[in-house]
């Protein structure tokens, strides 16, 4: 079960903690992968750890031309295209009254607008194939909101609504479009939290621990597989019970 042999996927944000876990899990399931991100050296280091069926495609998500060509470039390298995992994202936190227009636009552009552009280009390929999988990584704060993250929460909520809308448009072409909304996951993003902040968070998580990148990646693998062929427009919450 949950094998991806013969399937070809583009994964963005592949050099981050969750991204690397997604790459590992999908590669072990025998997918061919194009891994993308801004840090070329990190991507090449990941690719060197694997013998074959992995290609590196750096991309600046603020560069519209690069974003619009990323799917085509992945299709050329892999000689085919079956799906997309949009995992790339940034934070630029701040309270509303202090948040600049620049911080708002940068987070929306990278997290939401680039995801829209990649989904659009991916669907052009997948509709022709009459098969496809798209998994967009959102966040728990896209469902709950979070003080100090107006821009990030808006971008992640937008991903959820956008994904549901796309799912309705392409379902008749055997294309599924789903989201994963991780809670607090052990990554570099959460490493900056103080012990006091971590304790407060853990006190509110029924499982009393943060999640792992591998646990998020397991959800991606399921949604990308044939076993999830009747699941679309869904938001898979991976948060230890923090939000139900």
**Residue 35 phi/psi, 5° resolution?**
-105, 135
Q: Which of 231, 159, 141 is nearest to 12 (CA)?
A: 159
Of these residues, 27, 55, 152, 230, which one is catalytic?
Answer: 152
Distances (CA, A) of 124 to 41, 88, 101, 111, 191: 30, 21, 32, 21, 38
Alpha-carbon span 81 to 55, nearest angstrom:
13
- Annotation says 55 is catalytic: no
CA 180 to chain centre: 8
DSSP code at position 221: H
Alpha-carbon span 57 to 38, nearest angstrom:
9
Alpha-carbon span 157 to 2, nearest angstrom:
28
Tokens of 85: 């995992």
From its phi and psi, is residue 199 left (phi > 0), alpha (psi between -120 and 50) or beta? alpha
Please list the residues that pair with 133 across neighbouring strands: 83, 176
**DSSP H or E segment with residue 181:** strand 175-182
Active site residues: 152
């Amino acid at each position: 079960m949950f094998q991806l042999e013969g399937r070809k996927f583009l994964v963005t944000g592949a050099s981050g903690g969750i991204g690397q876990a997604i790459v590992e899990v999908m590669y072990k399931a025998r997918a061919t992968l194009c891994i993308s991100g801004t840090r070329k050296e990190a991507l090449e280091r990941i690719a060197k750890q694997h013998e074959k069926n992995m290609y590196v495609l750096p991309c600046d998500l603020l560069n519209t031309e690069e974003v619009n060509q990323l799917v085509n470039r992945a299709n050329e390298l892999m000689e085919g295209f079956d799906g997309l995992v949009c995992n790339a994202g940034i934070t630029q936190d701040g309270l509303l009254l202090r948040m600049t227009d620049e911080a708002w636009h940068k987070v929306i552009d990278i997290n939401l607008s680039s995801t829209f552009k990649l989904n659009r280009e991916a669907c052009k390929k997948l509709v022709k194939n009459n098969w496809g999988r798209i998994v967009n990584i959102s966040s728990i704060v896209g469902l709950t909101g979070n003080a100090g993250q107006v821009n990030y929460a808006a971008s992640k909520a937008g991903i959820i609504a956008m994904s549901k809308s796309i799912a309705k448009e392409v379902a008749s072409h055997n294309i599924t479009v789903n989201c994963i909304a991780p809670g607090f996951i052990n990554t570099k993003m959460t490493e900056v939290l103080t012990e006091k902040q971590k304790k407060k968070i853990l006190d509110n998580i029924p499982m009393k621990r943060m999640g792992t990148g591998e646990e998020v990646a397991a959800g991606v693998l399921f949604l990308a597989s044939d076993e999830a062929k009747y699941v679309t427009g869904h938001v898979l919450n991976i948060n230890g019970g923090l939000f139900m």
